[in-house]
Structure 1
C-alpha cells in the first residue's frame, strides 16, 4: 500500500467520523426538545436540559396554572349554574356562553395534574393515558373556546342586523352549532392519542408529558398542529373580524335610531374585550405553535421553545377570563350572579322586578298627572 493511498484512507476515515459526530450533535441539540431516539427513551441537548430544569417550567408555569385553577374552577362552575338553573329565557348568546363555560371547566379540572407535573421537575408519574387525556383537553379547550367566541361574535352581529328574528329558531340553530363544535373538536383531538405524549429522557431521568417529540413521530405531530393552528385559530379569527366590521357598519348606517347608541356601546365593549382576549391568550400561543412546528418539520434549530411553552401556558388564562367576559357583556348574567350571591330565588327576583317596574310606572303616572294639573291651573 503506497503512502498516498494510506493518507487518502486516513483522510476518508476522519471525514466519516466528523460527519457522524456532526449528525449526532445535530440530533441532540436541534429544535430544543427533540433529541436522539433509542429504545430506552430520548437524549436531549443542552438547551432542552436547561429549559426542562429552569425556573420557567418548574416555577413560573405552575404558578400561572395555580391562578387558572383557583380562579377558573369557581367562576366557571358559577357561570354554568347561572346559565342552566337561573336563566329561564334562553338566548343564543347564553347558549354559546354556557358551552364556553363548560369547555373551560372541563379543562380546569385537569389543571392540578399539570401543576404537579411542573413542580415535580417536569417528571410525569401518572402514566401515558392520563398524559394524552391532559393534552387533548388542553388543546380541545383552546379551540372550543375560539370557536364559541367566533359564534358569539356572529350571533351578536345577527342580533344587531336582524333584531326581530325568532328566538326559538335561533336557539335551535345555536344548539345545533354547539353540538357540532363539540363533536368536531373532540374528533380532531383523536390524533393526539395516536402517538407518544409521554417520553422518557435518559440523560435527565425524567418522563416528560408533551414536552419532547420523538424524531420518528415529528412529521405526524407537526402536520397535525400546523393544520389545527390554521383551521382552529386563523379561520375563526377572520370570522370574528368580519363580524365586527359588518356589525359596526350596520350600526353606523342606523344612527338615526335612538336605541342604536346603546347597542353601539355594547358592541364596542364586546369587540374590545374579545380583542384583548385574543391578543393576550390566543394570538401569541398559536403564532408560536405555527412557528415551532414549522421549524420542527424543517429540522431547524428552535431557540424559542421556552417562549413557546410560556405562551401556551398563558393561553390557559382564557379559562379564568371568560366568566368576567360574560359578566361585562351580559346584563342578565350580572343580575343572576347578584341574585345568586344574595340567595334570592328566581321567583323572588321576578317579584322584585315586577314590584320595581310597578313602582316606576306609578311614579311616572303621578308625575304626568301632576304636570297635567299644573297646566290646567295655568290655563285657568
Structure 2
C-alpha cells in the first residue's frame, strides 16, 4: 500500500517510472563514504581557496574572479551533500519535498558544468597570458572576467530552467521516491544527454587541450626557464587534463551510452552501478579544483608553511600557558625578523608580490 503523501507527490509530478528492480546497494555503501570524504576535505579547502581568490581580486588580478566563481560552485554542491547523504543512507528514498529535490539536482548539475566552464576560462586566460601576452590584453581585465562569469552562470541557469521542467521525483519498484533518476531514461533526456556530452565535455576538453598544448610549446622553447621548472609546469598541465578526464569523462560517456542503449529495465539494471560510480567521480572535482588551481603554486605552498608554523606556535603557547608552574618564556631567534616569527594566514608582503594568481603572466612563474 503506497502512503497517501507519497502517492500525492507522484501524482503531482506525473512521473511514475517503470517498475525496474534496481539494486541500490552501491548508494548505501560507496556513496556515503565518498560524500563524507569530499565534505570533510572539500569544505576547508574551498574556503581557503575562496579567500585566496579574494586576495587575487583585491590585487586586481582577473584570474581571481574565475577562481572565486569556481570555488562558489564547488561550495554550493558541498553544502548539498548532507541531503544526498541522507538520501543514500535511506536506500534512495527522498523524504523531502520535490522542490528541494529539484534544487539539489540543479546544484549537482550546476557544479559539473559551471566548474567545467570556469576551468576553461582559467586555461584560456593562462594561454593568452603566456602565448599572447600583449595581443589580447583587453580580454584579460577584471571587467572582461566579470562579464564572462555572468554569462556562464546565466547560460547554465537558463539551461537548467529549460531542462528541469519535468517532475523530478519518481517511484521505483520498492515504492521509494527517487530523486533525479528515471529507469529507463525518458525520451526527452536523450537530446539533453547528447548536448551535455558535446557542449559540456567534448568542447571544453578541446579548449583545455588546445590551451595547454600552446603553453607547453612556449615553455619548451623558452631558454630562460629552468629544466626543473619546465618539469613542474608539464606535470601541472598533464595533471589538470588527467583529472578533468577522470572526473568528467566516464560520466559523460555513460550518458551517451544510456541514451543509445537504455530502452528497457534490463539494461538499466546492468548499468546502474557503473553509472553511479561515474557520477561519484564528478564529486571529487570539488577537492581537485583548489589543489590544482591554488594550492599547487609555490607561493601558496610557502604561505601554508607559514600558516602551519603559526598554528604550531599558537599551540605551543596554549600548552605552555596551561601549566602554571612553567610560565611562558620564549626567546626570539636573533637572525629572524618579527615578520618571520609570527606569520599570519596567507600573510602578504608589503609590496603585494604574493597577491599574484597561482599562474602568473610569465612562463617562469606558471
The bucket for the TM-score relative to the shorter chain is 0.7 to 0.9
In structure 2, the partner of 1:284 is 250
Partner of 2:192: 224
Q: Report the TM-score, using the length of structure 2 for normalisation.
A: 0.74
CA RMSD of aligned residues (A): 3.0
- Equivalent position SS for 2:171: strand
Question: How many residues in Structure 1 have an aligned counterpart in Structure 2?
Answer: 307
Q: What is the distance in 2 between the residues matched to 1:102 and 1:96? A: 10
Query: d(CA) in 1 for partners of 2:260 and 2:180?
Result: 17
1:45 matched to which residue of 2? 20
Aligned to 2:276: 309
Show the counterpart of 1:270.
Answer: 236
Q: Which runs of 5+ in 1 are unaligned?
A: 1-37, 355-380
User: d(CA) in 1 for partners of 2:107 and 2:346?
Assistant: 38
Shift of 1:115: 0.4
Is the 1:86–1:336 Cα contact (8 Å) retained in structure 2? no
Corresponding residue for 1:321?
Answer: 288
Cα separation, 2, equivalents of 1:311 and 1:249: 33
What does 1:341-352 correspond to in 2, within 5 Å?
Answer: 342=310, 344=343, 349-351=348-350
Decide whether aligned partners of structure 1 residues 167 and 326 sit closer, same or farther in structure 2, where only a CA change above 3 A counts.
same
- Counterpart of 1:189 in structure 2 is 160
Q: Contact 2:66–2:149 (CA<8 Å) still a contact in 1?
A: yes
Report which of the two has the higher share of helix: 1
* Distance (whole Å) between structure 2 residues aligned to residue 278 and residue 347 of structure 1: 28
- Which SS does the other structure have where 1:91 is aligned? coil
Do 2:201 and 2:252's aligned partners in 1 also have CA atoms closer than 8 Å? yes
Spell out, residue by residue over 1:17-57, the C-alpha distance to the aligned partner (whole angstroms, 9 max, x if none): xxxxxxxxxxxxxxxxxxxxx979344233x2xx22x2x12
Correspondence list, 1:136-285, <5 A: 136-164=106-134, 170-171=140-141, 172-201=143-172, 203-213=173-183, 218-252=186-220, 254-255=221-222, 257-259=223-225, 264-285=230-251
CA distance in 1, matches of 2:298, 2:20: 54
> How many angstroms apart in 1 are the aligned matches of 2:137 and 2:271?
48
Alpha-carbon distance between aligned partners in 1 of 2:175 and 2:288, rounded to the nearest angstrom: 37
Cα distance 1:250–1:230, how it changes in 2: closer, same or farther (>3 A)? same
Deviation for aligned residue 1:338: 4.8
Paired with 1:84 and 1:207, the residues of 2 have a C-alpha distance of 41
Q: Provide the residue aligned with 2:6 in structure 1.
A: none
Q: Is the 8 A contact 1:147 1:236 kept in 2?
A: yes
1:136 Cα deviation after fit: 0.9
Counterpart Cα distance in 1 of 2:67 and 2:15: 46
Contact 2:15 2:169 in 1 (8 A): no
Secondary structure of the structure 1 residue equivalent to 2:144: helix
**Secondary structure of residue in 1 paired with 2:35:** helix
For the residues of structure 1 that align with 2:45 and 2:54, how far apart are their CA atoms? 14
Normalising by the residue count of structure 1, what TM-score does the alignment of the two structures yield? 0.72
TM-superposition CA deviations, 1:205-235 (whole Å, max 9, x none): 21111122577xx122222122122111110
Gaps of 5+ in 2: 1-12, 311-341, 354-366
Q: Does the aligned pair in 2 maintain the 1:150–1:240 contact within 8 Å? A: yes
Per-residue CA deviations over 1:236-271 (Å, capped at 9, x if unaligned) read 00111111222222333x33x313757634531331
